[in-house]
Amino acid sequence: MDNGGGRKVKVAAVQFACTDSPSDNLATAERLIREAHNKGANIILIQELFEGHYFCQAQREDFFKRAKPYKNNPTIQKMQEIAKELGVVLPVSFFEEANNAHYNSIAIIDADGTDLGLYRKSHIPDGPGYQEKYYFNPGDTGFKAFITKYAKIGVAICWDQWFPEAARAMAIQGAEILLYPTAIGSEPQDSGLDSCEHWKRVMQGHAGANLVPLVASNRIGTEIIKTEHGDSKITFYGNSFIAGPTGEIVAIANNKEESVLVVEFDLDQIKSQRHGWGVFRDRRPDLYKVLLTLDGQTEKPF
């Protein structure tokens, strides 16, 4: 949005505790989206898989019933209506069924309600409490930069946020803002492990390394899921935040309260800053072939 003197865009992160009722969670998301809009937000990020509890704590066949196809998805259609009414951009996270495949996906809804396309989560975690490989195929869309009314945005999902390659892939395609919907909290197998500060610092690094603002939206609350080994419990640590282009945190929520964060950025000023810093000028893609390997060897000894 050009308000004179630069393209000024307001981004928002919302944070809330999920019930296991899709209609209740959709109503909460809509209420917070409207609150963000009332604060002037143009691009509003909702947390990962917000339609229900984070079911990946357990490996249960019945949870596949939560998946829905991308086309004619009622949650996406509702968000399209809201986006068009308010004139806001909404990335919408959902559990996608595609024939016999399943994905952790996000649809990007532009400010006129147009569905700009789909991103499917590329990096799929598998550990106690976060058993996503049971449910999700690895995403096949590749990383994208979506051209919206207000900015060119890159959107990736939760575990993707730990990989600098993903952030850079979106940035070199021209993404001016990076957005990461998330569901992360305590570790069921180790009550002493708290990844919150690490989680924030990694994404602050993505913002600073690519000189772009970054928005992260996480859930709060404690969720208990029945598993084959008894109950599993995760307390989600919130701390949704917005970082500026040098990685500085400019707005942050706490670990317990429902929140709406809104920050304005001058994208033209940041573009000049990014170009002047020279990191994209001085990249050496010809030397990065090792990144295309798993073991660091570009020439195999066998």
Q: Active-site positions?
A: 48, 121, 158
Token pair of 38, please?
Answer: 């009332």
Report the distance separating Cα 243 and Cα 203, nearest Å. Answer: 8
Token pair of 146, please?
Answer: 């979506």
Token pair of 236, please?
Answer: 């989600």
Give CA separation, 197 vs 139, 184, 194, 240, in Å.
27, 12, 8, 12
Q: Which residue has the tokens 């033209």?
A: 268
